[in-house]
Structure formats: C-alpha cells, structure tokens
C-alpha cells in the first residue's frame, strides 16, 4: 500500500479550498482518504491562515513512508517557516 500526502479539492467552483490528506496512491481524486492532516485555502488574505497543518500527523505519515506531493511538500515547508517566525516574535 503506497500512501501519499496530496491535496483534495473541496469548495465551490470559484472558491477553491483544499484538504491535505493521506491517501492511497491508486485512489482517484475523490477517493476516501485515510486521514485529513490539514487544510489549504489559496484565497486567504493572510499568509498565516492559508495553511493549517497537524504537524504530529504529518510527521507520523512521513515517518511511516508516505511521500508528499511536490505541492504539499512546499506547503509543509511554508507552514513550518511561518510557525518558526511566529514563535520568535
């Protein structure tokens, strides 16, 4: 069972919103996810509120062999940089 972390689109036609999910690679775009590990709102006003992650769950899935997609990988890096910057303030 190959598991990947990828985006799953939800929302209206002109208001995209994405779930960051752990899902089997062979599942289709609307397949049942194993777990929802975060959300991504590309139209959010503030950069801080664009990505919401459950870091413990993300780390657990990656540790167990899940591969993040290219987009999800960059979102994880962005969210962790924002958390680190907020912690230093």
pTM of the model: 0.87
Residue 31 has pLDDT above 80, yes or no: yes
Domains held by the chain: number: 1
**DSSP string covering 20-52, please?**
EEEEETTS-TTPPPSEEEEEE-TT-SSGGGTEE
The CATH number covering residue 31 comes to 3.30.1320.10
- pLDDT score recorded for residue 33: 92
- pLDDT score recorded for residue 18: 94
pLDDT in tens, 56-82: 999 999 999 999 999 999 999 988 888
CA distance 85 to 79: 10
């Amino acid at each position: 069972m190959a598991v990947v972390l990828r985006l799953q689109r939800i929302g209206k036609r002109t208001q995209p919103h994405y779930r960051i999910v752990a899902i089997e690679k062979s599942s289709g775009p609307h397949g049942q996810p194993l777990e929802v590990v975060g959300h991504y709102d590309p139209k959010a006003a503030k950069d801080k509120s664009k990505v919401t992650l459950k870091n413990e769950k993300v780390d657990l899935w990656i540790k167990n062999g899940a591969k993040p997609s290219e987009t999800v990988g960059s979102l994880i890096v962005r969210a962790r940089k924002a958390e680190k910057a907020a912690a230093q303030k």
